Structure 1
Amino acid sequence: MSQTTNKQQQRRRSRRGMTLIEIMVVITILGLIAAAVGVAVIPQLEAARRDRASLDIKNIQSALKLYYTKKGKYPDTATGLNGLVEVQALEALPKDPWNNDYVYLNEGGKPVIISYGADGTAGGEGNDADISSADTGSAHK
């Protein structure tokens, strides 16, 4: 009988599952992995947002060229990017990756498109730095 009782005890132990310490070790390991991934991914996410803003600005510049072809001039600052939607050069006004509107200025016949970066205000450094069409190339040639 002792062999039968011993086998039953072994079966019960094997079905018990994980101990609290084993669960804590697994959770700690998963936390370390998540932290390592977060450290690697977050800077790439911000770089991707800045790249997207630059691409959006280039697309707006292309729409400005189409507007210029149709109207013979660039929209004034008061009309802004809404003029591009009116002539169907753009379907809708895009938002920058931080969900702010792009700023349009017509400086003496030279259009400038600006995203104010993550902080949404002029100036700044790093992720808060402005992204401008003056930096990515001119809309007119």
Structure 2
Amino acid sequence: MDKSRRVVRRQRGMTLIEIMVVITILGLVAAAVGVAVLGQLGTAKHKRVALDFGTIGQSLQLYVVKKGRLPDTVTGLRALVDEQILPKLPLDPWGNDYVYTLERNTPVIVSLGADGSPGGYDDDRDLSSRDQDAGAAR
């Protein structure tokens, strides 16, 4: 009888080692999923910036039709809201304002990246409509 009781007790639950192995495996799976999701999140933010560049570019074209010129850099993108072309100015995916400049009478829109300041690498790097246009022309 004693042997059967011991066997039954062993089969009732898991040992501490078994629990630790299961937790370790779950942690590894969660880490792998997390890395995959975070990678997609960065890609999605860059795609959103590209879409915003398109929206702002089309809005600037409407502004030119309406006013005969591009907004100056002092007024900037605010002119699109003032002329009721856009209901409000979009923010980049990191919550920062887009920067508007004119280069040889060509509008350039820039997102300053995750850090909100010029320069940087990876998510902190600046994204420019000029770079997007050059990529589309290739």
Q: Which has the higher contact order (CA 8 A, sep 6+)?
A: 1
Task: For 2:19 and 2:63, locate their aligned partners in 1 and report how far apart those are by CA, in whole Å.
Answer: 63
Match of 1:124 in 2: 120
Aligned length: 134
Identity %: 57
1:100 to 2:100 alignment: no
Aligned ranges 1:5-84 → 2 under 5 Å: 16-84=12-80
Separation of aligned partners in 2, 1:12 and 1:29? 25
Tell me, what secondary structure is at the counterpart of 1:137? Answer: helix
Structure 1 portions without partners, runs of 5+: none
Q: Runs of 5+ in structure 2 lacking a partner?
A: none
CA RMSD, 1 decimal: 2.4
Structure 2 match to 1:89: 85
TM-score, normalised with respect to structure 1:
0.79
Secondary structure class of the residue paired with 1:104: strand
Conserved? CA contact 1:75–1:106, under 8 Å: no
Could you give the per-residue CA deviations for residues 68-96 of structure 1, whole angstroms, max 9, x where no partner exists?
11111111111111111112221111111
Letter in 1 for 2:41: L
